[in-house]
Amino acid sequence: IGGAGGKGTWGRPGSELVGVEEGLEDPHDPNYDSDSEDVCKFEAITPPLEENEIETALTPILSEYFENGDTDEVALSIEEINLGENLHQILVIAVTLAMERKASNREMTSVLISDLYGRVLHEEDIERGFDILLNSLPDLVLDTPNASTVLGNFIARAVADDCIPPKFVRRYKGVVECAQARLAIEHADILLSMKHGLVKLDSVWGVSGGMRPVKYLIKQIQSLLKEFLSSGDIEEATRCLQELEVPHFHHEFVFEAVVLIIEDMGERAMDLICALLKSLSASAIVTLDQLKNGFYRVFEEMPEISIDVPLAYTMLEKFALKCQKEGFIPNDVLKNLPSRGRKRFVSEGDGGRVKDDVY
């Protein structure tokens, strides 16, 4: 009487409950619930580029950089490709391309190395790249006869920019057999040993300011202003500003100068910057348009500046009034002066009402 299928056809007693508590996992089961399964996420993994693919991938990125000077764009583009353990090739290819180009492109390459350091490149990548370039000099001099001197400049500038330590140069001294590599190391050592060598290496490529990336110019302007606050030498500050050769960018100089006195909050800084701007305005080195544009840029940034400097509006008003008293900023700049809660008359187009400024 075991039934049509014989003994055990219906399974062991209780087997019909197996899998109910844990959930049915057979997709072919009519009671299978796909929502009960864990969600799996799949991410695309970009395989590392082969060595013979790296130059093809990097050259267009670097060539475009020589046109637009945007180091952020280079970093983002490089982050989209997988160089694996070949990050040093960024430096090798960039320097090799720059050797065949103008001094302005070499300057841009030094800036790029500095900007990529810590974000894309690390000290060991930069050192490894220079190692390869030093060993490649016998081939590089065939296309660039002064390649040893150029590479020496790049190495010294990388030391000055804190991308590699001075010991990198010392490690090679006296142990290099290749004549071209020895010349490059000796040249870098001479540059680094000069009086104020690290500062002078900022202009190792001897290019004019108009060819330099914006970030580099801002860094130079900030350095110039800090040095001026230390020395108080208007003549030297004026000479350094003119050497940058960026009259179209003097609004940035004014902007940085005003922000500096706001952050410093000292009378001495205010007096010195006021005297410097007055001198530059009187000699027409900084034009009225550039002066006004610099102040207006500060006005626009005041909500952000005041987050870090609560007395920013007070310092700005005090400085602007001082500059007006010295006679080198016009009344229309003061009329646009922002402030917290100070009542002022709006333009005639608003009917001359009095309203509160809200910033």
Q: Are 66 and 175 in the same domain?
A: yes
Question: Could you tell me if 112 and 95 are in contact, meaning their C-beta atoms sit under 8 angstroms apart?
Answer: no
Average pLDDT in the 255-281 region?
95
Beta-sheet pairing, 343-345 with 354-356: antiparallel
Average pLDDT in the 277-300 region?
93
Q: Are 60 and 199 in the same domain?
A: yes
Banded pLDDT at 355 (limits 50, 70, 90):
very low
> 345 φ, ψ to 5°?
-80, 135
Q: What does 234-285 look like in DSSP terms, one character per residue?
A: HHHHHHHHHHH--GGGHHHHHHHHHHHHHHH--HHHHHHHHHHHHHHHHTTS
Percentage of the chain surpassing pLDDT 90? 58
Q: Which residues contact 39 (CB under 8 A, 6 or more apart)?
A: none
Predicted confidence at residue 359, as pLDDT, reads 35
Calpha distance 148→186 (Å, rounded): 10
Banded pLDDT at 46 (limits 50, 70, 90):
confident
CATH number of domain containing 173: 1.25.40.180
Predicted confidence at residue 47, as pLDDT, reads 78
- Asked if the structure places residue 37 within a domain, the reply is no
Q: Are 61 and 176 in the same domain?
A: yes
pLDDT at 25 over 80: no
Q: Which two tokens stand for residue 266?
A: 């000292």
pLDDT at 241 over 70: yes
CA dihedral 59, 63, 68, 69 (to 10 degrees): 70
Banded pLDDT at 38 (limits 50, 70, 90):
low
Considering its fold, how many domains does the chain have in total?
A: 2
Predicted confidence at residue 150, as pLDDT, reads 96
> Residue 177 is part of which domain span?
51-203
Predicted confidence at residue 123, as pLDDT, reads 96
Q: Are 76 and 219 in the same domain?
A: no
Q: Which residues contact 316 (CB under 8 A, 6 or more apart)?
A: 258, 262, 298, 302, 337, 338
Last residue of a domain, one of 157, 184, 203: 203
Average pLDDT in the 39-59 region?
79
pTM recorded for the entire structure: 0.51
Residue whose token pair is 């180091």: 71
Question: Could you tell me if 132 and 87 are in contact, meaning their C-beta atoms sit under 8 angstroms apart?
Answer: no
Banded pLDDT at 164 (limits 50, 70, 90):
very high
Q: Which of 176, 156, 177 is nearest to 166 (CA)?
A: 156
Question: Could you tell me if 231 and 275 are in contact, meaning their C-beta atoms sit under 8 angstroms apart?
Answer: no
Tens of pLDDT, residues 322-332: 999 999 998 88
Greater model confidence, 219 or 4: 219
- Asked if the structure places residue 188 within a domain, the reply is yes
Q: Are 220 and 324 in the same domain?
A: yes
- Asked if the structure places residue 5 within a domain, the reply is no
- Asked if the structure places residue 158 within a domain, the reply is yes
Q: Are 82 and 122 in the same domain?
A: yes
- Asked if the structure places residue 239 within a domain, the reply is yes
- Asked if the structure places residue 250 within a domain, the reply is yes
